[in-house]
């Protein structure tokens, strides 16, 4: 996809993620919105995947360790054709294949079950290790929340991945500066988290997580750096482009009304129209 | 099929030596087998293997949570990781990683928890897992086994490799008493019957198996015939064996190197309560912490000796309805 297409894909992922939680009228809105552009870049351009064969051995892997943002992932998977878009309406309802937190046993295209924060760090590392051991050259992508890096397991993994020189592991931190109870700086400050990973032996960059070209460039640069795992700290806005969420302090998990949902869809359609009209 | 030694004697090798030999052999014959440890390669006898197979043996450093998670990730790519650390850390320290990353995700991770219960001896109470079985029992789809000697250890390791799913293997590193003849094989989920008897049945596991056999000898001298069964699979528990023993002998005693809460004794009691009325008693740590000491001291302090088991059998028989 070109830049314009990726931006439109990202807006459509936001719409699909909102649709996914709209039947219940509540969900993890903030973090789903802040990582939507990354989902667009990964599924629209970067990752080698086959929606018709989700377990394809040569695919790139994705571990969304901030597993509560399942709706954003499901939006991307549905739009890519892993399952019908209509199935998004079943999210979080009894018997669904699309639970709030990512579940590899239920959902086509989910590579790892996550939800207990910090754990996707290690499972992604294991997947990257296992792939390398078996002579495969695909990449394992990992998305961590910023609040998630409060977890000690993240730093165990940071040491381990550097020791193992896992250069086909490309991780992202969705640094939207907020966790459930407020600003990360006020709760358990992670400060210059890029520098922390660099000190742990990673190749670490920082970029605008809502700029699809910047994300693509950062991933490309990571792939060209050998011998170290890669961290791309994405500066993002929690609730980005969701009219009832962006700008609200407590937007980690939100309840919303049908009219809020409709207004958000309308605003995203406006965004899409504006992107289409860009020269 | 298994065969029992006529005379129970200490084995020629430590359990860890056999563990290292079998791990090495399994890895040589199956490239999917990966060995992982948390800075205890020397303690478990795997240092040589680690040096000789740096690409197949992963020393994670002292980070148990990451080890279990990384093992889960490896298994998702088709590998069969065997992870080891002391049983305290292999259970309670990594409970959530075992639960979510391994079991809930439906992956294929083997967890070796060494130094079960009082076998941690001089490391004392902090290092004495008397609750690991209990914690693992509450995790759906986990298989829990505890080999009684190195012959059983070898067979159970191979079966764990060839059986998909999360295994918790409780492993004493020390010299065990040899119960089984070389080459014996076992069925996971099926108790190994060691001795017949009509008056009571002792279900024992791990280091309590030789104590149970001694107890049966002591009881025989008093004219009491106690059957002994090695319940080496704690989950799934062998319900048939428990029900059959209750019906045939009418008195049951369990003997385990674990808290009597939520271990083998609880598993057997649950089967009895739901199926057949039968007096029973549990030998094990009476809901107390471990403490430092040698094996003889600790067996006595915890009430895990042959004498303790024999007395429990007599009390249980006395409770039979006349």
In order of their start, the domains of chain B are: 14-180 (3.40.50.970), 192-318 (3.40.50.920)
Q: What is the mean pLDDT of residues B81-103?
A: 98
The pLDDT profile of chain A, 279 residues, written as one tens digit per residue, is 999 999 999 999 999 999 999 999 999 999 999 999 999 999 999 999 999 999 999 999 999 999 999 999 999 999 999 999 999 999 999 999 999 999 999 999 999 999 999 999 999 999 999 999 999 999 999 999 999 999 999 999 999 999 999 999 999 999 999 999 999 999 999 999 999 999 999 999 999 999 999 999 999 999 999 999 999 999 999 999 999 999 999 999 999 999 999 999 999 999 999 999 987
Give pLDDT, residue B56.
93
Distances (CA, A) of B265 to B98, B237, B245, B281: 23, 11, 14, 8
Task: Return contacts of A94-99, CB within 8 angstroms, 24+ apart.
Answer: A98/A20, A98/A70, A98/A74, A99/A70
**CA angle, B162 as apex, A134 and B164 as ends, to 5°?**
80
Residues of A with a Cβ under 8 Å from any B Cβ are 63, 104-105, 111-116, 118-119, 121-131, 133-134, 152-153, 156-157, 159-160, 163-164
Q: What gap in Å lies between CA B281 and CA B284, rounded to an integer?
A: 10
Question: Looking at beta carbons, which residues of chain A come within 8 Å of B57?
Answer: none
| Cross-chain residue pair A119–B101, CB shorter than 8 Å | yes
Q: Which chain A residue's Cα is nearest to B96? A: A116
Contact with chain A for residue B68, Cβ under 8 A:
yes
Those residues with Cβ within 8 angstroms of residue B198's Cβ, 6 or more apart along the chain or in another chain: B225, B227, B248, B249
| Cross-chain residue pair B105–A159, CB shorter than 8 Å | no
> Smallest Cα–Cα separation from B152: which of B188, B195, B99?
B188
Output the average pLDDT for chain B.
98
Considering CB atoms only, which of A111, A126, A164 is closest to B69?
Answer: A126
> Smallest Cα–Cα separation from B302: which of B137, B128, B146, B147?
B128
| Cross-chain residue pair A134–B101, CB shorter than 8 Å | no
pLDDT tens digits, one per residue of B242-293: 999 999 999 999 999 999 999 999 999 999 999 999 999 999 999 999 999 9
Instruction: Count A/B contacts: CB-CB distance under 8 Å.
Output: 106
Give pLDDT, residue B165.
98
Full-model pTM: 0.97
Q: Is pLDDT of B322 > 90? A: no
pLDDT grade, residue B35 (50/70/90)?
very high
| Cross-chain residue pair B100–A156, CB shorter than 8 Å | no
Side-chain-facing half-sphere of A133: CA atoms under 13 Å: 28
pLDDT grade, residue B237 (50/70/90)?
very high
Contact with chain A for residue B100, Cβ under 8 A:
yes
Q: What gap in Å lies between CA A106 and CA B97, rounded to an integer?
A: 19
| Cross-chain residue pair A112–B97, CB shorter than 8 Å | no
Residues of chain B numbered 201-240 and touching chain A (CB < 8 Å): none
Contact with chain A for residue B34, Cβ under 8 A:
yes
Looking at chain B, the whole-number percentage of residues with pLDDT higher than 70 is 100
> Smallest Cα–Cα separation from B64: which of B32, B40, B33?
B40
Contact with chain A for residue B54, Cβ under 8 A:
no
> Smallest Cα–Cα separation from B213: which of B168, B248, B176?
B176
| Cross-chain residue pair A127–B68, CB shorter than 8 Å | no
Considering CB atoms only, which of A122, A131, A164 is closest to B77?
Answer: A131
Give pLDDT, residue A193.
98
| Cross-chain residue pair B79–A115, CB shorter than 8 Å | no
Considering CB atoms only, which of B69, B75, B78 is closest to A122?
Answer: B69
Contact with chain A for residue B76, Cβ under 8 A:
yes
Give pLDDT, residue B319.
97
Considering CB atoms only, which of B66, B72, B100 is closest to A156?
Answer: B66
Give pLDDT, residue A279.
78
Give pLDDT, residue A230.
98
Q: Does domain A3-277 have CATH number 3.40.50.970?
A: yes
> Smallest Cα–Cα separation from B19: which of B37, B7, B31?
B37
Question: Looking at beta carbons, which residues of chain A come within 8 Å of B67?
Answer: 122
Those residues with Cβ within 8 angstroms of residue A277's Cβ, 6 or more apart along the chain or in another chain: none
Considering CB atoms only, which of B69, B81, B106 is closest to A119?
Answer: B69
Question: Looking at beta carbons, which residues of chain B come within 8 Å of A133?
Answer: 34, 55, 74, 77, 79
Catalytic residues of B: 64
> How close, in Å, is residue B104 to chain A by CA atoms?
8
Considering CB atoms only, which of B34, B63, B105 is closest to A104?
Answer: B105
Tokens of residue A84, six digits = 């019908």
Q: Which chain A residue's Cα is nearest to B93? A: A153
Question: Looking at beta carbons, which residues of chain B come within 8 Å of A125?
Answer: 66, 69-70, 73
pLDDT tens digits, one per residue of B52-80: 999 999 999 999 999 999 999 999 999 99
pLDDT tens digits, one per residue of B151-205: 999 999 999 999 999 999 999 999 999 999 999 999 999 999 999 999 999 999 9
> How close, in Å, is residue A136 to chain B by CA atoms?
10
Question: Looking at beta carbons, which residues of chain A come within 8 Å of B77?
Answer: 126-127, 130-131, 133-134
Tokens of residue A32, six digits = 């789903």
| Cross-chain residue pair A153–B69, CB shorter than 8 Å | yes
Question: Looking at beta carbons, which residues of chain A come within 8 Å of B105?
Answer: 104-105, 112-113, 123
Give pLDDT, residue B12.
96
Give pLDDT, residue A73.
98
Question: Looking at beta carbons, which residues of chain B come within 8 Å of A164?
Answer: 58
Q: What gap in Å lies between CA A93 and CA A158, rounded to an integer?
A: 36
Helix axis angle, B306-318 relative to B208-221, nearest 10°? 60
Which ranges in chain B belong to alpha helices (H)?
Answer: 15-29, 47-52, 64-76, 87-91, 95-96, 132-137, 150-162, 208-221, 239-249, 264-275, 295-302, 306-318
Considering CB atoms only, which of B73, B75, B96 is closest to A116?
Answer: B96
């Amino acid at each position: 996809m070109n830049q314009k297409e990726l931006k439109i894909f990202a807006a459509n992922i936001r719409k699909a993620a909102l649709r996914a939680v709209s039947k219940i009228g509540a969900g993890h809105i903030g973090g789903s919105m802040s990582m939507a552009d990354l989902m667009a870049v990964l599924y629209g351009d970067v990752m080698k995947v086959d929606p018709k064969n989700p377990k394809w051995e040569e695919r790139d892997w994705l571990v969304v360790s901030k597993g509560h943002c399942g709706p954003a992932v499901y939006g991307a998977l549905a739009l890519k054709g892993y399952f019908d878009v209509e199935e998004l309406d079943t999210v979080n309802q009894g018997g669904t294949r699309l639970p709030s937190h990512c579940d590899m046993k239920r959902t086509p295209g989910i590579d790892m079950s996550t939800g207990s924060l910090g754990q996707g760090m290690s499972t992604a590392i294991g997947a990257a290790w296992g792939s390398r051991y078996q002579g495969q050259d695909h990449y394992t992508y990992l998305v961590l929340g910023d609040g998630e890096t409060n977890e000690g397991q993240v730093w165990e993994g940071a040491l381990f991945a550097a020791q193992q020189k896992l250069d086909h592991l490309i991780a992202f931190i969705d640094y939207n500066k907020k966790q459930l109870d407020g600003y990360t700086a006020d709760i358990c400050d992670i400060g210059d988290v890029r520098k922390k990973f660099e000190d742990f032996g990673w190749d670490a960059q920082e970029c605008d997580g809502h700029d699809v070209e910047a994300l693509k460039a950062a991933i490309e640069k990571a792939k060209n750096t050998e011998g170290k795992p890669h961290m791309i700290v994405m500066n993002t806005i929690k609730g980005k482009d969701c009219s009832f969420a962006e700008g609200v302090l407590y937007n980690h998990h939100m309840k919303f009304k049908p009219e809020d949902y409709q207004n958000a869809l309308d605003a995203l359609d406006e965004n899409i129209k504006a992107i289409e009209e860009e020269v | 099929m298994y065969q029992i030694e006529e005379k129970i004697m200490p084995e020629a090798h430590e359990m860890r030596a056999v563990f290292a030999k079998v791990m090495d052999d399994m890895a040589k014959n199956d490239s999917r087998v990966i060995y992982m440890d948390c800075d205890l390669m020397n303690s478990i006898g795997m240092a040589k293997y680690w040096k000789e197979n740096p690409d197949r043996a992963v020393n994670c450093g002292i980070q148990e949570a990451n080890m279990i998670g990384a093992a889960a990730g490896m298994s998702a790519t088709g590998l069969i990781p065997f992870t080891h650390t002391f049983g305290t850390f292999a259970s309670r320290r990594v409970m959530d990683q075992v639960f979510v990353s391994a079991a809930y995700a439906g992956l294929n991770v083997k967890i070796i928890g060494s130094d079960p219960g009082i076998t941690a001896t001089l490391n004392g109470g902090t290092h004495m897992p008397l609750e690991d079985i209990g914690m693992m029992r509450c995790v759906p789809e986990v298989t829990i086994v505890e080999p009684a000697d190195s012959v059983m250890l070898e067979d159970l390791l191979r079966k764990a490799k060839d059986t998909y799913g999360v295994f918790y293997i409780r492993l004493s590193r020390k010299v065990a008493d040899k119960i089984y003849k070389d080459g014996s094989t076992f069925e996971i989920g099926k108790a190994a019957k060691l001795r017949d008897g009509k008056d009571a049945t002792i279900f024992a596991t791990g280091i309590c198996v030789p104590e149970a056999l001694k107890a049966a000898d002591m009881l025989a001298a008093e004219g009491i015939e106690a059957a002994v069964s090695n319940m080496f699979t704690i989950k799934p528990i062998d319900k048939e064996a428990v029900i059959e023993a209750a019906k045939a002998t009418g008195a049951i005693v369990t003997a385990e190197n674990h808290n009597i809460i939520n271990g083998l004794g609880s598993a057997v009691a649950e089967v009895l309560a739901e199926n057949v009325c039968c007096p029973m008693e549990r030998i094990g740590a009476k809901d107390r912490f471990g403490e430092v000491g040698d094996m003889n001291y600790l067996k006595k302090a915890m009430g895990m000796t042959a004498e303790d088991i024999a007395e429990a059998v007599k009390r249980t028989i006395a409770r039979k309805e006349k």
